[in-house]
Amino acid sequence: MTTDPRPRVFVARRIPAAGLARITEACDATVWPGELPPARDELLAGVTGCDGILTLLTDRVDDELLDAAGLRLRVVSNFAVGFDNVDVAACTRRGVRVGNTPGVLTEATADVTFALLLAAARRLPEAADHVRDGAWRTWDPLGLLGVDVHGATLGIVGLGRIGQAVARRATGFGMRVLYHGRTRASAAVETALGATFAPLPELLEASDFVSLHVSLDDRTRGLVDAAALARMKPTAILVNTSRGPVVDTDALVTALRDGMIAGAALDVTDPEPLPADHRLLGLPNCLVVPHIGSATRATRDRMAAMAADNLLAGVEGRPLPTQVNPEVR
Ligand code: DGY
């Protein structure tokens, strides 16, 4: 019996061929065939004895998983720019490189952010239902009135790559842009984007739309809580395309139900997926789509290619093109 000399990898879901074909060619690869993520025990069994793992944001990478994988593991390639599902410190302690897919999904995610903002402002889902339900009887001077986007103030929380791409779109809509972030952008970036720094409370109080673009960590978990929502205008709309737990879901339900804010448009939720009977879905002023920020064919192809590049570099012991723990050499 011959043993396969190629690196052994586990790929936690089928990803576009733009990356998968190269992985299956170069590696002894097990690709999880399900439409749903592997259950925890299936994931732990799948990674056992692997040199590399390709994970999704639905797969938790922690000490338990790293133990299950064993000493051969050299790389975790996450098929996402966010990597809050990965305990990077635990990987670093074991000399395991971690990769992500930054940059390639910036514009697609900014597009969805703006689509959500516009849809909520102009009540597009309601308007489409109105037509589908046969309720469109005439041009109605008082029907389905929304709020103006042009000329409104947009507060961007987190002016990283995606936040900046959203600011560029806002300029085209003649919006005034405020931003808040851990670090202040350079004067050149502020000028190019027409964006003004504001402390978070001020941003929340002044904005007609608040859009979240922070990564999820201990400092941003629950950032938008009851106190933050209470600062927002009763006419304001919250847009979240970052990570669900950045917003306190119970507080958001209360704020939307009690008219503390006018609406929310969410690509991400906590929990995720959102059960069909969740209270958020019973609120007419809440629009939810299923984490589709990066969901264009071209973007997912680029993410797959990048995740494959990271995985293949890692199993060969090379630095990853986009490594989040460069201290592992
Ligand atoms: C990411 O990459 O972090 C997105 O949430 C999914 O594309």
> Could you read off the pLDDT of 28-81 as tens digits, one per residue?
999 999 999 999 999 999 999 999 999 999 999 999 999 999 999 999 999 999
Let me know: does 30 contact 74? Beta carbons within 8 Å.
Answer: no
Nearest CA to ligand 1 atom 2: 80
DSSP 234-292: TT-EEEE-S-GGGB-HHHHHHHHHTTSSSEEEESS-SSSSPPTT-GGGG-TTEEE--S-
Q: Is 82 in the pocket of ligand 1 (CB under 6 A)?
A: yes
Q: Which CATH class is domain 8-104+297-315?
A: alpha beta
Task: Report which residue type is found at 175.
Answer: M
Q: Is 324 in the pocket of ligand 1 (CB under 6 A)?
A: no
Domain positions in the chain are 8-104+297-315, 106-288
pLDDT band at residue 2 using 50, 70 and 90 as cut-offs: low
Query: Exactly one of 221, 272, 278, 279 is catalytic; which is it?
Result: 272
Inform me whether the pLDDT recorded for 1 exceeds 60. no
Round the average pLDDT of the chain to a whole number and report it: 97
What tens digit of pLDDT does each residue of 190-246 get?
999 999 999 999 999 999 999 999 999 999 999 999 999 999 999 999 999 999 999
> Which numbered atom of ligand 1 lies nearest the CA of 242?
5
Please report, for residues 74, 80, 110, the alpha-carbon distance to residue 93 in angstroms, rounded to integers and kept in the order given: 12, 22, 35
Q: Is 306 in the pocket of ligand 1 (CB under 6 A)?
A: no
**pLDDT at residue number 4:** 87
pTM, whole model, 2 decimals?
0.97
pLDDT band at residue 272 using 50, 70 and 90 as cut-offs: very high
CATH architecture of 106-288: 3-Layer(aba) Sandwich (3.40)
**pLDDT at residue number 100:** 98
Q: Provide CB contacts within 8 A for 57, sequence distance 6+.
A: 78, 79, 80, 82, 84, 85
> Which numbered atom of ligand 1 lies nearest the CA of 79?
2
Q: Specify whether 327 is catalytic.
A: no
What tens digit of pLDDT does each residue of 71-121 get?
999 999 999 999 999 999 999 999 999 999 999 999 999 999 999 999 999
Mutate to test the pocket of ligand 1, among 77, 81, 212 (most ligand atoms within 8 A of CB): 81
pLDDT band at residue 3 using 50, 70 and 90 as cut-offs: confident
pLDDT band at residue 300 using 50, 70 and 90 as cut-offs: very high
**Topology agreement, domain 8-104+297-315 and domain 106-288:** yes
Biggest alpha carbon–alpha carbon distance for the chain: 78
